Copies of this chain bind each other. A is one copy, B any other.
Amino acid sequence: MSMTTMNNDVYRYQAVEKHILGMVENGALQLGEKLPSLRKLSTNLGVSISTVNQAYVELERKGVIESRPRSGFFVKQKAMRLPRTESGPTPMEAPRPVTRIGLIQTVLESVGGTDTNEIPLGVVAPGTPLLPLKELGRITAAMIRDNPERALAYAPIPGDDELIRQIAFRSMELGIPAGPTDPVITAGCMEALYLGMRSITRPGDTVLIQSPTYYCFLQLLETLGLRVIEIPSDPEGGVSPAELAHALKTFDISACILAPNFNNPDASLTPDEAKQEIVRLLAERDIPLVEDDVYTDLHFTPKRPGTYKQFDEKGLVLLCSSFSKTIAPGYRVGWMLPGKFRQKVLEIKATTNVSTSAPGQMAIAEYLRQGRMERQIKRLRNAMETQMDTMQLHLERHFPVGTRVTHPRGGSVLWLELPKQVDSVELFFQARAKSIGIAPGPIFSTQDKFSNYIRLSCGAPWSEQMRQGIETLGGLATELAQK
């Protein structure tokens, strides 16, 4: 058997496994129901009986199904998919200032904390084994050794020329409109978001966000003295143009900050048609939109989903992204396509840190120039999808009845709804005491929402330690559910 055939077979049994999981999730196969026979499924799917058998064995090993002697395979686990949000405009609260920093700060202390034994379910970054450690380390060392002047002298305010060129080129390849000198290099995506929001708002302005939203957005809005309107983010459908239109009619909104794909924490993806309609609605009122495109490269879908930017005709969309979720979180290199706000962005950048650290920019420019990025992203996508699948299976095994979880089409986080009575902040503190890092739901909204939700990161490669962490966490959640 050649390697190619074997790889195909591996692919096939995983496809069968997913097919069955899908049927369990969407209710086509109910708890306790018997699975199709090996022969029947083999015929239906056009794969060998041994491939189906391999998938069933794997699903049994993962605890999703069980075999009963002389009877066949039966569904052992509940369906856990988060349902679609109720449709129709949601009643909205008046704009409110953000006051979440205290709680968020407690959570953030876990990021880069000193507890090196912590099980990293809280930090959203690829685990170090997934980063191109040696490759990028070698390129960085060589670039600094060969170009010490360029490394030690100030980089230009907009960024290293070669990196700007590389990012513009890659953006155009991905269908994101960018002139060759449009990108502005930033200290990670966070600085891009910060520069974007500073450029388009003044203290006291009202900003539209999706809910749940990334807690760092809330921190940013709080430190900038902004007020917030939340519209629902649906795990399946993303942001609804109807909800947005309703909010625009009701409130005086100055700016938006949205994630086009795999929103942190609910991993929701807004369909491209909805993105186009949202950009149109905002353009009617000249309202700028900051978009956080940092997770889009981690799509499990065959095609890369679109961005808001690609529908932007008036220069109102400020696309923000970085290399932190793909190759080098610690280098703090991100970028933005600032549309018509470029001059303002550069003014603020100059008074924040003058320019971005040069060595990281040079190294990443060279990494891109050598064409290494796409292979790394592909590797990461495969790893993330596998890690997410594995974690989902273990969640199903260890979490209390009534738990529901998202099934994202990309990104690296899972969003769990626990039974109503579980206080996720309490769970956060209990987990932290056992060196398990998670993110509790309430930090993802300015309102008293998501008190029984948690976000888990799937960035770290699966390990026995991770399995134990999930088991412990599930045990804690089960205890809280029984209180």
Contact = CB atoms under 8 A, between A and B. Distances in A.
Interface of A: 101, 105, 108, 111-114, 123, 125, 128, 131, 133-134, 136-138, 140-142, 144-145, 148-157, 161, 186-188, 190-191, 194, 198, 202-203, 216, 219-220, 223, 225, 324, 327-333, 343, 346-348, 350-360
Given A155-B112, A188-B354, A198-B223, A133 B105 contact: no
26 contacts: A105-B346, A108-B157, A111-B154, A111-B354, A112-B153, A112-B157, A136-B148, A138-B145, A140-B141, A141-B144, A144-B144, A150-B330, A152-B327, A154-B330, A187-B353, A187-B357, A188-B353, A190-B354, A191-B352, A203-B225, A216-B351, A219-B347, A330-B355, A330-B357, A357-B360, A360-B360
A413 B218 CA distance: 42
Contacts of A141: 140-142, 144-145
A141 B109 CA distance: 30
A356 B148 CA distance: 20
Contacts of A113: 156
Contacts of A187: 187, 332, 352-353, 356-357
Contacts of A156: 112-114
Contacts of A125: 153-154
Q: Which of A149, A153, A353 has its CB near the most chain B CB atoms (within 10 A)?
A: A353
Contact of A137 (B136, B148, B327, B329): B148
Given A125-B153, A138-B145, A141-B145, 5 more contacts: A101-B347, A111-B154, A190-B353, A216-B350, A332-B356
Contacts of A133: 148-149, 152
Contacts of A328: 151-152
A366 to B, nearest CB: 13
Main secondary structure of the interface of A (DSSP, over half): helix
Oligomeric state, in number of copies? Answer: 2
A151 B350 contact: no
Given A105-B347, A145-B138, A191 B152 contact: no
A122 to B, nearest CB: 12
A178 to B, nearest CB: 20
Contacts of A216: 350-351, 354
B331 A355 contact: no
A440 to B, nearest CB: 17
Contacts of A134: 148
A194 B351 contact: yes
Given A330-B359, A332-B354, A348 B223 contact: yes
Interface centre among A101, A153, A360 (most CB of B within 10 A): A153
Most B CB atoms within 10 A — which of A151, A187, A220? A151
A22 B141 CA distance: 48
A353 B332 CA distance: 8
Contacts of A357: 187, 330-333, 356-357, 359-360
A442 to B, nearest CB: 18
A151 B330 contact: yes
A204 to B, nearest CB: 9
Interface centre among A223, A348, A354 (most CB of B within 10 A): A354
Given A133-B149, A190-B351, A111 B157 contact: yes
A136 B142 CA distance: 13
A142 B351 CA distance: 32
A183 to B, nearest CB: 16
